[in-house]
Structure 1
Amino acid sequence: MDAPDKVLHTARRSHRKTRTGCRTCKRRKIKCDEGRPSCWNCIKHSVSCDFLPPAASPAGSSNVGTPPGHHVAGFIGRNGIWSSPTNTFSSSFAMANNGALPELNMNDLELLHHWSLSTSLSMTSDPVLRTLWRTKIPQMAFEFPFLMRGILTVAALHLAYLHPERRDFYVSNSLQHHDIALSGATEVLPNVSNENCMPLHIFSILTCIHSLGRPRKPEDFLVVGEQGIAKWFVLFKGVVLIIERFSETMSTGPLAAFFHSRVRRQRQRQSCIETSTMDHLSSLRASILSAPLPPDTAQMYLDNMIELQNSFSFVYSCPSHSHELGDIFIWLFRCSDGYLVALQEGTQEALAIFAYACVLFWKMEKFWWMEGWSGLIMNNIWNWLDDAHKSWIEWPISEIGWSPPEERGMDPVKLEQQHIMG
């Protein structure tokens, strides 16, 4: 058996004899292994080692080192080399000065921040869908730049609405993002697939909101002709086409809650239609039946009024805080081509029907991008109707609280311009 002193002697850890260790180890009176770029003792105790090279500093600034022995946060990288926030920051700073890192776009960050805090919450009254607008949709937008710019477009419009003193600045930002987003989405449209159908669908919704919330021009409210309202129908019908073609994908994808919410709302709508006893269009229906119209033309108007009455039944049965934009636009989606042609041609009957639809627009003015639309469209319709047909729209005028400009002693054209600029 070995002697105790021999066991102790053989168990002692060997160390390298040196007098050239770092000053930190010398001051602590411990052996230094002289490891590079830092000895092991300094790494273990998270202190600065003399062997570390001085951190690079930007030109014109003083290079103030950490006093020996002072604690600094550090870590060992994947390659085993010791690093510190100071060194990492210095390297990043040098890269930025050399143009390797792009500057942050603070305007875009402001828009994305506002979207997360405010705009996303204004998109719907449904708590589940609000969460999707705030979290999942921006997450999806990182893969589809046109969708991200669509988000920034609407966020900028919302800021313009909230801050009139900076309206021009935010509107300019919104239009820039919208133009680029539209160009990107247009490139994708010929190749709609299961992978991009949902981003395109969400983008089409954002585009509709942009069309409603952007600065308004007189031609936006034209009910007759190929501008203004006629463009709405083309835009909104595009939303539906994507849904119908890729319904299976949308019902199982990451934003499936959108699809299921729409299905659930359609069931509620049908239930309200079946139990409703109100007929808001009875007076208008009687007027059309008594008008000297060809039978097929009169029937076309009556058929389009059925879906409009269904929308009335649903909207007037639901609490106002639960109204959604789709509750009114479902009628626009389902309008026949014959009615759209009649509206563009400015027939008195088609205009009167659309005046009733203004009541639905008025019901949706809780959304900031819908404010003022009902009165402005009604004003445009009023200017197109002859005296005989103006009596047809007494109920919708009364319901939205609108009165003809001449009754207020105002010029109709100047009144419309005043609303648009204001």
Structure 2
Amino acid sequence: MPPRFTHRKSTTGCLRCKARKVKCDEQRPDCGHCTRHGVTCEWPTLKPRMYNPDKPKAVTRRPVQPSPRPSLPSPELGSMRILEMRLVHQWVTETCNTMSSAKIPTMARMWGVSVPQMAFEYEPLLHTLLALGAAHRSTLLPQEASALRPVYHGYIDSAVQRHRPVTAQLDDTTTDAVCFNTVLLSLYTLFLRSEPSKLPYNPPVMWLTLAQGIRTVIKSAYVRLVENNSPLCPLLFAAPDVWRSTDRKERIYTGPMKPLQFLLQYRPEDDAMDQETLEVYEEAVAYIERFYIAVQKGTEDYLLRRMFCGFPPVIPQAYIAYVAARRPRALVILAYAFALIHEHDDIWWLRGIPAREVEGINSLIPPQWKWLMIWPTHVISVGSAQGQEVPIPRTSTVVTESFTP
């Protein structure tokens, strides 16, 4: 009779070793036998021992993982899941606090609590938050920037793909999450202007267009949002008030200071300036005048950044078309907007952008319009628009002297 080998019976071994009636070394996630034979190692589900004669034991099949496995906190968590958790953490702990007006408690709660809650119910918003978290993290950790760039581009592509069909059918049932996503997508496109590019300069038409869409989306559901005390209300009621007035006369600045009227009067023949075109430029210049006055008064940084971001939603859509067509007057007005925010660009989604845009616009301006670009380029060089008086041309069509700040 052959000798009998005695061993302690394994009660918690893998399923394959039990079926073969061999001793399992119980090394998880893959035992020694399964590793040696190159097969999937499966384990019984760990549950409290409660006897139920009518219910068979359940078996959880584990997905095949490449060997060796990465060092993770749990074999059930993949690297992408860990990354997503990091990016959500990035948003709720840091990125949300960099949004405009986040210094106001109601706005801080909106960005840090309400928006993440909505993101778990509206996937495009969740993907936008992940993209912004990744973009912000890339600015904080330059050593991770190259690895994070495809991450935030990928998430934003997914967000836009799912968000676009929703915004194509706007009505009074438009949700808060759709509105928030529209706001954050425009912010993301502005941040993209900070990425280096070897291509010739193009005006920021995508940012202007997406930001203009904020007005369209919010307008479709404004009454319902206010009546239901939407979490979006702190954003709707925060200064500057760009949503409630549909009358252009109420939106145009009518105070005693009109420092930038020369932007309307200079070389009118270049624009074939009819009444409709004039009104488009009047609204754009009026907003920049408000902005200019706020800068001269020393308004707080976060309010000035909000005023800057409020420019595209307020201006007429035709103005964006003029920028896309590279009309000199439209480009000069935009350069003044960027110059005014230059001193206050010390936030990750705006840093370095004003100077690049002013320089880029200046490269497109024809020689006869260069005089109007002296002030924006001067502001960029000295670092501040506060205290820098704008030029006053001697005539609307011919300038005989160069402006010297």
State whether TM-score is above 0.5. Answer: yes
Out of 215, 225, 231, which is 1:240 matched to?
Answer: 215
Note the C-alpha offset of 1:170: 1.2
Contact 2:292 2:340 in 1 (8 A): yes
The CA distance in 1 between the partners of 2:27 and 2:286, in whole Å, is: 79
Aligned twin of 2:299: 319
> Is 2:87 the partner of 1:111?
yes
User: CA 1:247–1:378 in 2, change beyond 3 Å: closer, same or farther?
Assistant: same
Please list the CA deviations of residues 55-87 of structure 1 after superposition, one character each: whole Å capped at 9, or x if unmatched: 856663389xxxxxxxxxxxxxxxxxxxxxx85
Aligned twin of 1:203: 181
> Is 2:241 the partner of 1:261?
no
Out of 156, 161, 164, which is 1:178 matched to?
Answer: 156
Report the 3-state secondary structure (helix = DSSP H, G, I; strand = E; otherwise coil) of the residue aligned with 1:368: coil
Aligned twin of 2:100: 124
Out of 335, 353, 376, which is 2:333 matched to?
Answer: 353
The amino acid across from 2:62 in the alignment is: N
Note the C-alpha offset of 1:306: 2.0
Note the C-alpha offset of 1:194: 5.6
The CA distance in 1 between the partners of 2:85 and 2:332, in whole Å, is: 46
Contact 1:197 1:242 in 2 (8 A): no
The amino acid across from 2:332 in the alignment is: A
The CA distance in 2 between the partners of 1:305 and 1:280, in whole Å, is: 10
The CA distance in 2 between the partners of 1:250 and 1:258, in whole Å, is: 11
Aligned twin of 2:398: none
Contact 1:120 1:130 in 2 (8 A): yes
The CA distance in 2 between the partners of 1:110 and 1:303, in whole Å, is: 43
User: CA 1:191–1:331 in 2, change beyond 3 Å: closer, same or farther?
Assistant: closer
> Is 2:274 the partner of 1:299?
no
Q: What does residue range 59-98 of structure 1 map to in structure 2 within 5 Å?
A: 60-61=25-26, 87=47, 98=62
Aligned twin of 1:413: none
Please list the CA deviations of residues 200-240 of structure 1 after superposition, one character each: whole Å capped at 9, or x if unmatched: 111112211221223343569513xxxxx222232111111
Report the 3-state secondary structure (helix = DSSP H, G, I; strand = E; otherwise coil) of the residue aligned with 1:246: helix
Q: What percent of counterpart residues are identical? A: 16
The amino acid across from 2:222 in the alignment is: S
The CA distance in 1 between the partners of 2:362 and 2:307, in whole Å, is: 25
The CA distance in 1 between the partners of 2:177 and 2:25, in whole Å, is: 48
Contact 1:129 1:257 in 2 (8 A): no
Please list the CA deviations of residues 20-43 of structure 1 after superposition, one character each: whole Å capped at 9, or x if unmatched: xxxxxxxxxxxxxxxxxxxxxxxx
Contact 2:359 2:377 in 1 (8 A): no
Aligned twin of 2:367: 387
The CA distance in 2 between the partners of 1:145 and 1:157, in whole Å, is: 18
Contact 1:111 1:156 in 2 (8 A): yes
Report the 3-state secondary structure (helix = DSSP H, G, I; strand = E; otherwise coil) of the residue aligned with 2:349: helix
The CA distance in 2 between the partners of 1:292 and 1:145, in whole Å, is: 47
The CA distance in 2 between the partners of 1:315 and 1:271, in whole Å, is: 19
Note the C-alpha offset of 1:304: 3.3
Q: Size of the alignment, in residue pairs?
A: 316
Aligned twin of 1:134: 112
The CA distance in 2 between the partners of 1:109 and 1:309, in whole Å, is: 44
> Which protein shows a greater Rg?
1
The CA distance in 2 between the partners of 1:331 and 1:181, in whole Å, is: 24
Note the C-alpha offset of 1:157: 0.2
Note the C-alpha offset of 1:113: 1.0
The amino acid across from 2:26 in the alignment is: S
The CA distance in 2 between the partners of 1:177 and 1:292, in whole Å, is: 43
Q: Which has the higher contact order (CA 8 A, sep 6+)?
A: 2
The CA distance in 2 between the partners of 1:162 and 1:114, in whole Å, is: 11
User: CA 1:311–1:57 in 2, change beyond 3 Å: closer, same or farther?
Assistant: farther
Note the C-alpha offset of 1:166: 0.8
Note the C-alpha offset of 1:395: 2.0
Deviates more, 1:249-258 or 1:118-127: 249-258
The CA distance in 2 between the partners of 1:302 and 1:274, in whole Å, is: 12
Q: What does residue range 265-284 of structure 1 map to in structure 2 within 5 Å?
A: 265=241, 273=253, 277-284=256-263
The CA distance in 2 between the partners of 1:95 and 1:172, in whole Å, is: 38
Unmatched 5+ residue regions in structure 1?
Answer: 1-53, 64-85, 224-228, 404-422
Note the C-alpha offset of 1:109: 0.6
Unmatched 5+ residue regions in structure 2?
Answer: 1-9, 15-23, 29-45, 50-57, 65-74, 384-405
Note the C-alpha offset of 1:390: 1.2
Deviates more, 1:319-328 or 1:106-115: 319-328
Please list the CA deviations of residues 73-112 of structure 1 after superposition, one character each: whole Å capped at 9, or x if unmatched: xxxxxxxxxxxxx8569xxxx9776349963510111111
Report the 3-state secondary structure (helix = DSSP H, G, I; strand = E; otherwise coil) of the residue aligned with 1:312: helix
Aligned twin of 2:322: 342
Deviates more, 1:334-343 or 1:235-244: 334-343
Contact 1:358 1:378 in 2 (8 A): yes
Out of 208, 221, 230, which is 2:205 matched to?
Answer: 230
The CA distance in 2 between the partners of 1:152 and 1:261, in whole Å, is: 27
Please list the CA deviations of residues 306-340 of structure 1 after superposition, one character each: whole Å capped at 9, or x if unmatched: 23212323454463333254412433233334433
Contact 1:55 1:87 in 2 (8 A): no
Note the C-alpha offset of 1:360: 3.5
Contact 1:124 1:130 in 2 (8 A): no
User: CA 1:304–1:133 in 2, change beyond 3 Å: closer, same or farther?
Assistant: closer
Out of 288, 312, 328, which is 1:308 matched to?
Answer: 288
The amino acid across from 2:129 in the alignment is: I
The CA distance in 2 between the partners of 1:352 and 1:284, in whole Å, is: 8
The CA distance in 2 between the partners of 1:129 and 1:292, in whole Å, is: 44
- The normalised TM-score by structure 2 is 0.66
- The normalised TM-score by structure 1 is 0.64
> Is 2:122 the partner of 1:147?
no
